[in-house]
Amino acid sequence: MADDNEIQFIANSSGRRWPLLSYRGYLYLHNRATLQTSYWRCVNATKKERCNVRLTVKGDLNGDPKDLTVANLPLKDHVCGEPNSSVEQICAEMKLTAANDATVKISLSQKRPLSQQQFR
């Protein structure tokens, strides 16, 4: 299991170009970047909670995540609540979602309700 102070990237299942960034138990979406600096915002920045915590990450995003550093420490407190980025839990949820999507696609391609297909 990775250290919470370590930057990790998680595939973004929403189809966006950039992965999610996990740091200290929270998830961040890519906001913008320059050559050696990238800017990230809490995934709850635009939701009801309006969490405005931002990360400034220094280093090459194409390199090893262990070589990246968070430049704007200390961070503000998250108003969105408890940490939301158990990487193992997120990966398991993504696999479950992908499996459910595949089952629905199979059901639709056979033009039978899923409940009938399961029992035949």
pLDDT tens by residue, 74-87: 888 888 877 775 65
Other beta carbons within 10 angstroms of residue 21's beta carbon come to 26
Q: In what order do the strands lie in the sheet with 54-58?
A: 8-10, 20-23, 26-33, 37-42, 54-58, 69-70
Q: How confident is the model at residue 13 (pLDDT cuts 50, 70, 90)?
A: confident
Q: Which of 16, 26, 18 is nearest to 87 (CA)?
A: 26
> How far is it, in rounded angstroms, from Cα 88 to Cα 86?
6
Domain 1-84 falls in which CATH fold?
Answer: N-terminal domain of TfIIb (2.20.25)
Residue 93 or residue 61, greater confidence: 61
- Residues 96-116: tens digit of each pLDDT: 555 555 544 444 444 444 444
Give percent helix, percent strand, percent coil of the chain, each to the nearest 5: 25, 25, 50
What pTM, to 2 d.p., does this model score?
Answer: 0.65
Give the closest residue to 29 by CA, choosing from 83, 39, 87: 39
